[in-house]
Structure 1
């Protein structure tokens, strides 16, 4: 007897455990069959290999089953041994017709099929027409079947199946009972493969089955076909290493090593890992996809404690990497990985595309220790084009009373202020210090949007209004930046929803000071423009007025 592939040998024959992941459809059909509330047209939708044709055959058996004694009726549990059940399983039941709409898509084929529908069934209780990939029918073919689909003969049942329901006319959808078949969950697919291989007497490592299940992308047929391939490839017990080689999948250890190199900002180490992956002829598209999945697990571990598990990487690796990266950095790396996947087909070759994606990650991940302060003050002198309006480099006149301005014993100059050299020095101007700390991302926002509560030389108490700024990773980066600037402090962050509200005696944040400086500079610029002799002359000649919102300081380097 010739070998029968697993996808055909283990195709479910009834509404039982073999229909993995489709319990919602099985439940509805079973209740309808048991109660006798039968619709005349069913539409099964879903991606390839999720059981559309299988469900159609089981439904046809349920409608035509006569039981082991030949006296049975419509049932939700077809016996599988009567003549009707065996004939449908063998594909020779005359009253069950499967039509492929991809190759029989015209109005002539549909008309011929419908002409036969009026005749009573020959061997069964119902005639069942199953039209696969029904979305491939032409508009004329759809129009030809509408009347029969809405009011078929009593002995007639239609089952339509498609992978693209969006292409089916609404007039057809409204005449059908629609069931959307889900993609198989990875865990459920691996468990089913384990049962199949157990019955086949073939040993397999659980992780190998997980790799096959992920490679199947929700299709049980694809999973069973890959299992057939793995049996032939391994010629013995199915191992994770062999399946990984067969699929061209990357070992999780390589992905963890890449992220370790990124966390350490170690370009040489990253290059060595890329060379090793290239030497192993790894499938780089799958590697980039697995890297994105690993970053997803890391993000979950950062946001939801206890969510890390060994689906993609060892739990300890996920937790360690979750502590090594800030949440915003993980989101950045994930976005770069997805963008790299999109651009992989445009690259000279997959290895180059993968390498450039990792180098892009290295370039965009901030290096806190090496961050340099800006080379010039935020309020640098800027010439005004066409107008001889002087813009002061340092604003000395304030349009508001001095009592409303924050008192500061140090000048507000972020670019050139040298970092303190003594760890024991007291922090007297937290907004000024926060603005020049070597920080980026969320850690920088923590520094800029926090207000100083107390500083005793060993610990620093800050208040913030946003809860998301006070994660342990972010606070740790702030402590490192303070240490690099000469202030060794243990930082304590307290949540205060009123911290961002300015008022008399309220602590001032660096962000508030920067906003105040921008406001003062803006007012000075507007006053200078309004008082410019050229502008006044134009106003007198043409009766013009200055629109304040149109006043812009020119970019540095432009000629006036």
Structure 2
């Protein structure tokens, strides 16, 4: 008697018949893949924004100088895991004829290329270190590397988010990572390279993947829209690319959402800039330019009305602040670079930004930038963000027309009334009896020659002004410069520590920006006075020496050997320190 199922009589009702056909999938649900997966790079030519890394890999493959361990690092969505898979294909490709070797242009049609792309190659092992963090997981790798490959040229281990491995797991991997078998390659990817032990970093060839520029992202999104049959405005794609912050995956996810959100025209989605702006809660660029004009004009009622309109449209206060920061940055860079960067702006903005760059001075632009940065922090931390945004922009309204401190000093020196210089709310010069009889008295111009330019009184005052306006430059002048000659507008100093080769030129440019007058700045080897930092240290030491001579302090120092003087925290009272 046979035991095979075909020979068994299961009785009536047990005829299973043919196996059922796969269930049909409704149209529109047939395995849709999100754009970030569907358009993942399959060749190095499709990997955007990483040309330097691709060139290095191409040369390494061509010259047979392949390392045994690669480390890809960078922010989210720039192509770390995709690059690891591409390297795996490049190392294992055998070409359409089956006779090829490692290449920077894998064919994509041979069995290793196809199996790696489909994630089924037995010799290419991907591991997520976030869910496999322990020594046991690494021990499996250590045991498996001893065995030869099954079908590929190299056995490749791709470990994503490698920084999540435990300390013991890293230590267990070190020896194998340093001297792996010839047929094994390690490909690591991480967003937090600072958490990877230095002992691991020193055993890997590191590639820092860069944020992808906006223009490249726009081109990528345009290509995707053409293939998907989507109509998209150029400004809409640029908004998405800007919101992506250099991440291709983030941008493609936002584009996916925008296509789903778009209206259909003749059966094709139409992605518009206004729709993307509404979807992302971004401030309208026209409204942002209007806000900036109202700030410069000092028109507080109009500014509050515009902010109310933006709030009604659902625009987040932080988005409003960010949009204004972008405008000020564009105007400042255009002024510094004589129009540089204007071509990247939307056409409707170029004339306005160019006008602001022409009419606004650097001090005004820098002051607005600093006040907006302070406002940004306040809005983020505030319990009422909209109110905080209003207060921050009203502060800008009253600060935008303030004169530069040096201009104000010149006005005071020359006796020119502030009102004549356009300073709102400045006191007027009055003469006579009561208030009803007072009148503005204009100063009589002196017949002598024009007054000399107003310069800081001494080198210390000059450096203090530099620190206020140019913090890095001022700090270097304070710590590493010995003044030899200070005779404005001539400055000669000795550099005590290596600085930039064009440091004197930088100082001259900064002083001209501060005073409005050209300076002659030079460095010399001649001896000069101690640096301001050395002077402060000497004064502090003299003060401590004087304190030590006081009987009470001497008694304390004797009672507590090794005690030292500590500067009190000026920003915290003693009751808080207890």
1:196 is displaced (CA, Å) by 1.7
- 1:263–1:325 contact (8 Å) kept in structure 2: no
Residue 65 of structure 1 is matched in structure 2 by 93
Q: Secondary structure in 2 aligned to 1:237? A: strand
1:284 is displaced (CA, Å) by 2.2
- Could you say if the C-alpha distance between residues 466 and 106 of structure 1 is closer, same or farther in structure 2, counting changes exceeding 3 Å? closer
Q: Secondary structure in 2 aligned to 1:94? A: coil
- 1:298–1:321 contact (8 Å) kept in structure 2: yes
Tell me the alpha carbon deviations over residues 438-481 of structure 1, each in whole angstroms, 9 at most, x when there is no partner.
xxx99xx9xxx99xxxxxxxxxxxxxx9777888xx99xxxxxx
Residue 14 of structure 1 is matched in structure 2 by 43
Q: Secondary structure in 1 aligned to 2:185? A: strand
Q: 2:164 aligns with which of 104, 129, 136?
A: 136
Q: 1:5 aligns with which of 10, 31, 34?
A: 34
Q: Matches of 2:328 and 2:317 in 1, distance apart?
A: 16
1:302 is displaced (CA, Å) by 2.1
Residue 304 of structure 2 is matched in structure 1 by 271
Residue 103 of structure 2 is matched in structure 1 by 75
- 1:260–1:321 contact (8 Å) kept in structure 2: no
Residue 461 of structure 1 is matched in structure 2 by none
Where structure 2 has 5 or more consecutive residues not aligned to the other structure, the ranges are: 1-29, 264-268, 414-427, 432-438, 456-464, 470-487, 490-506, 522-578
Q: Is 1:311 aligned with 2:339?
A: no
1:176 is displaced (CA, Å) by 0.4
1:317 is displaced (CA, Å) by 0.8
Residue 46 of structure 1 is matched in structure 2 by 74
- 2:430–2:441 contact (8 Å) kept in structure 1: no
Q: 1:55 aligns with which of 83, 102, 105?
A: 83
Q: Matches of 2:357 and 2:72 in 1, distance apart?
A: 42
Q: Matches of 1:368 and 1:78 in 2, distance apart?
A: 63
Residue 361 of structure 2 is matched in structure 1 by 326
TM-score normalised per structure 1? 0.68
Which residues in structure 2 correspond to 1:55-454 (within 5 Å)? 55-235=83-263, 236-307=269-340, 308-311=342-345, 314-367=349-402, 421=442, 428=448
Where structure 1 has 5 or more consecutive residues not aligned to the other structure, the ranges are: 379-413, 436-440, 451-464, 476-492, 499-560
Deviates more, 1:360-369 or 1:150-159: 360-369
- 2:298–2:398 contact (8 Å) kept in structure 1: no
Q: Matches of 2:517 and 2:331 in 1, distance apart?
A: 26
Q: Secondary structure in 2 aligned to 1:131? A: strand
Residue 478 of structure 1 is matched in structure 2 by none
Q: Matches of 1:496 and 1:9 in 2, distance apart?
A: 60
Deviates more, 1:25-34 or 1:146-155: 25-34
Dislocated runs of 4+, deviation >6 Å: 414-419, 432-435, 465-471
Tell me the alpha carbon deviations over residues 188-235 of structure 1, each in whole angstroms, 9 at most, x when there is no partner.
110111112112221111111100000000000111111111111113
- 2:76–2:247 contact (8 Å) kept in structure 1: yes
1:91 is displaced (CA, Å) by 0.9
TM-score normalised per structure 2? 0.66
Residue 383 of structure 1 is matched in structure 2 by none
Q: Secondary structure in 2 aligned to 1:309? A: helix
Q: Matches of 1:366 and 1:32 in 2, distance apart?
A: 59
- Could you say if the C-alpha distance between residues 256 and 61 of structure 1 is closer, same or farther in structure 2, counting changes exceeding 3 Å? same
Q: Secondary structure in 2 aligned to 1:42? A: strand
- 2:429–2:441 contact (8 Å) kept in structure 1: no
Matched positions, count: 415
Q: Matches of 1:467 and 1:171 in 2, distance apart?
A: 45
- 2:296–2:401 contact (8 Å) kept in structure 1: no
- Could you say if the C-alpha distance between residues 429 and 71 of structure 1 is closer, same or farther in structure 2, counting changes exceeding 3 Å? closer
Determine which structure has greater relative contact order: mean sequence separation of CA pairs < 8 Å that are 6+ residues apart, divided by chain length: 1
Q: Matches of 1:287 and 1:177 in 2, distance apart?
A: 43
Q: CA RMSD in A?
A: 3.4
- 1:185–1:218 contact (8 Å) kept in structure 2: yes
Q: 2:56 aligns with which of 5, 13, 28?
A: 28
Q: Matches of 1:185 and 1:373 in 2, distance apart?
A: 42
- 1:373–1:415 contact (8 Å) kept in structure 2: no
Q: Matches of 1:468 and 1:92 in 2, distance apart?
A: 61
- 1:208–1:243 contact (8 Å) kept in structure 2: yes
- Could you say if the C-alpha distance between residues 368 and 70 of structure 1 is closer, same or farther in structure 2, counting changes exceeding 3 Å? closer
